[in-house]
Structure 1
Amino acid sequence: MTSDLIEVRDLGKSFPGAGGAVPVLRGISLSVRRGEVLAVVGPSGSGKSTLLYCLSGLEPATSGTVRVLGRGLEALGRGALAELRRDHLGFIFQDYNLIPSLTARENVALPARLAKRRVDAAEVDRALADVGLADRAGFRPSALSGGQRQRVAVARVLAVRPDVVFADEPTGALDTESGARVLALLRRAASDGRSVVMVTHDVEAAAGADRVLVLRDGLVHRELVRPDAATVSEAIAHAGVRG
């Protein structure tokens, strides 16, 4: 069994622009190991979220290869790719992606229902309790604060225990205490051969990762191993300097 859940070689991604294709990622190679939390940081416009979407198959790469759980994403059809995401990957988005008509409990249970798996009610309630929302299980998203909605999105991932969690700014809408709680849960999720890939502007969150990739202009500018927050902050600042 390989120690890498994700293997990327020479990943390039461009988007159409008025003057032709605009490159956002420019030949990135990386791996995500079993049991690790990998944080991706960098100045605005460095390609962080685009990288996350390409690694998870939400955006197709323009060039290069992305292998997830040993499967090359570029070779998968739409159905196979959707099945891979449904059965093995979990997502925490900045905009939460909760269903407005469902309660918090129903939103957390939704991935299992969509996969036609038995819903473990105890696991759903445990996930909500873990993020401090046991008393909000019956509330719809409109009755929750932005931070509470973010924690529901985290609970939804925790309940299904995916092989890889992709998190885009998982602490962005949270206060310090709630953010620390979510980060501890994501750390716990990176166990039993599972991993977390997290894009963040929060240097404290990044400092809790096993490795930190610092992007600049669509390239890996630096790789940091278990850095402190000051080191992450300095690396981001340096990546933002041009000339």
Structure 2
Amino acid sequence: MSDNLLEIRSLSKALPAGPRQSAAMVLRDISLDIARGEFVAIVGPSGSGKSTLLYCMAGLEPPTEGTVTLLGQDLSGLGRKSAARLRRDHVGFIFQSYNLIPSLSAWENVALPAPLAHRSAGQSQIDAALAAVGLTEQAQQKPSTLSGGQQQRAAIARVLAMRPDVVFADEPTGALDAEAGAQVLDLLRTAATDDSSVVMVTHDLQAAARADRVLVLRDGAIHRELHHPSADEVFEAVTTPATRAV
């Protein structure tokens, strides 16, 4: 078994040309590996390509050039159904938009992915996931009665209950206060262990400093790479036009 859960080689992504504009390069010749058990944060200025890179890693966006190999599978060689099955069985997503089903309670939203993936998730497993994000008392509430932060925590519980091989998180603490955000980061830190990995896009440099490795994007390319950095080191890497890898 490879130590790498995810391998990216020479990945580039261009937005298609419009009637009044030429094609725009969003990602430029990116190559990187994500090891099993690793917690990786992606940071950079707005428009640097962070979310696009995350979606390409997860197979939600096809690259213009290059390859993405997830769990030994070249995503470009998979049909739509096979790619969807790979994501369903092995990947968890935490999006800014939550993607909760309005007609279901928080508990039912967390429980929903298991039967869709033909996997068992007992009541105790769902209860534990909700307790881990501090939503035990809100388990029977519908999303419309939850605050934005509570909806985000429900979305995170839904992912963690499935214990995926890799979690892709797009600004997972963006709607949370400091205490709840720290709680979520603790959960993501715990999820990145043994054979499971977490890849997180964030604007929060304190959150990024919780990761094993931080990738700093600028103009669609990896500008710096930091290992176990402090928040000050992440800030320096984001704000200083350096090209040296650390």
C-alpha distance in 2, partners of 1:155/1:135?
14
CA contact under 8 A between 1:214 and 1:222: conserved in structure 2? yes
How big is the shift at 1:117? 2.2
- How many residues are paired up? 240
Q: Which residues in structure 2 correspond to 1:32-51 (within 5 Å)?
A: 32-51=34-53
* SS at 2:23 equivalent: strand
- Superimposed CA distance per residue, residues 90-109 of structure 1 (whole angstroms, 9 cap, x where no aligned partner): 00000101111110001101
Aligned to 2:28: 26
Aligned to 2:151: 149
Q: Residue 197 of structure 2 aligns to which amino acid in structure 1?
A: S
- Superimposed CA distance per residue, residues 4-52 of structure 1 (whole angstroms, 9 cap, x where no aligned partner): 0000000011112332321100110011001110000000000000000
C-alpha distance in 2, partners of 1:157/1:142?
20
Quick one: structure 1 residues 239 and 142, their matched pair in 2 at CA, closer, same or farther if it must change by over 3 Å?
farther
C-alpha distance in 2, partners of 1:183/1:79?
32
Name the Cα RMSD after superposition.
1.0
Aligned to 2:76: 74
Correspondence 1:161 to 2:158: no
How big is the shift at 1:239? 4.9
Percent of paired sites with the same residue: 64
* SS at 1:138 equivalent: coil
Quick one: structure 1 residues 40 and 239, their matched pair in 2 at CA, closer, same or farther if it must change by over 3 Å?
farther
TM-score normalized with structure 2 length: 0.96
CA contact under 8 A between 1:212 and 1:225: conserved in structure 2? yes
* SS at 1:113 equivalent: helix
C-alpha distance in 2, partners of 1:110/1:154?
13
* SS at 1:204 equivalent: helix
Q: Which residues in structure 2 correspond to 1:1-243 (within 5 Å)?
A: 1-18=1-18, 19-239=21-241
Alignment gaps of 5+ in structure 2: none
Alignment gaps of 5+ in structure 1: none
How big is the shift at 1:113? 1.9
